Copies of this chain bind each other. A is one copy, B any other.
């Protein structure tokens, strides 16, 4: 940790900072520059201390040297993590495509979509039974009934199921059905929920919050990892910026950034990330070219009847075309399309 003192800091103030650091077991070193005094502190401490020091009189700025996440970072875990989901692997050589409707709306809608995306080459099924919606007046999901349909769809197609959990008290019911527990972007810092999914041994798909920095996102993963569940899959889904043409700004540079900082696999959701059907395919290609380990794609048999996210959902036919478009990209980056076991 490095402490930069204010130009007018008194010798007493310097002394207090150094005494405090030494009291906490740090080795300290004072360096007197032309205009500023700098105090270096060596020791194994977390971020909070930076904050505490920043509150001391005479301190201008505290610069943490280490990343605040240990388990999610590459420093102590240099090799890539590969997360097994039933017979599939997320994060290895093979690219996995998770597809399905935003919300489970009915048995028929889900089964029809599941069979279509299976046919086109998707390797997992997504579908929300519990939907967090900005307005209390919009469709909130079929809840337990939705989970039932998801289980049936898996039965029929063999596709592992990815579904969102929104309330820690539902962990038992959702984990019973889901192969992957999804944490939505609005809940990325719902720490009670992160801890709940950290305590079950199920893979977790952790979406990036709308305005979360990469550091905060990895700290959210750290909450899950710290509870003992090391099967965390990250998913970039667009951040909030000033641009209004797209629903969000899909931040593809998060893919190489996360690959650099962390060992966890990362997927991209170009459906939520753009909010516009015509942009899903180009951004899906781009995500894979940037190095993403897979995609999350919204597909609906009849987008204009969808109870949520219609404008960004592909028809099964459009999805099949997208699968064809991404094949050469996957080859170009030296990877292979995921495959369900026969």
- The size class of the interface chain A forms with chain B is 35 or more
Residues of chain B with a CB closer than 8 A to A2's CB: 2, 38, 63
Residue A189 at the chain B interface, CB threshold 8 Å:
yes
Q: Is A219 a contact partner of B286 (Cβ separation < 8 A)? A: no
Q: A211's closest neighbor in chain B, by CB?
A: B211
Q: Is B65 a contact partner of A38 (Cβ separation < 8 A)? A: yes
Interface string of A238-256 (1 = CB under 8 A from B): 0111111110011111011
Q: Is B304 a contact partner of A52 (Cβ separation < 8 A)? A: yes
Q: What is the CA–CA distance of A20 and B250 in the complex, to the nearest angstrom?
A: 32
Taking the closest CB of chain B, its distance from the CB of A66, in whole angstroms, is 6
Question: Copies of this chain, how many?
Answer: 4
If the complex has contacts A55-B304, A216-B134, are A283 and B313 also in contact, measured as CB distance less than 8 A? Answer: no
Of the listed residues A44, A46, A132, A241, the one surrounded by the most CB atoms of chain B closer than 10 A to its CB is A241
Residue A309 at the chain B interface, CB threshold 8 Å:
yes
Interface string of A104-126 (1 = CB under 8 A from B): 00000000000000000000000
**CB proximity to B under 8 Å, residues A300-327:** 303-311, 313
Residue A201 at the chain B interface, CB threshold 8 Å:
no
Taking the closest CB of chain B, its distance from the CB of A88, in whole angstroms, is 24
Q: What is the CA–CA distance of A44 and B166 in the complex, to the nearest angstrom?
A: 30
Given A47-B134, A253-B274, 10 additional A-B pairs, CB 8 A: A29-B31, A34-B43, A68-B137, A69-B135, A187-B190, A213-B242, A242-B242, A252-B286, A329-B333, A331-B332
Q: Is A167 a contact partner of B192 (Cβ separation < 8 A)? A: yes
A-B contact list, 22 entries, CB within 8 Å: A4-B65, A29-B29, A29-B31, A36-B65, A46-B138, A47-B135, A52-B310, A54-B310, A55-B303, A55-B304, A68-B134, A132-B189, A136-B226, A214-B243, A256-B278, A256-B283, A286-B289, A288-B289, A289-B289, A328-B333, A329-B329, A331-B332
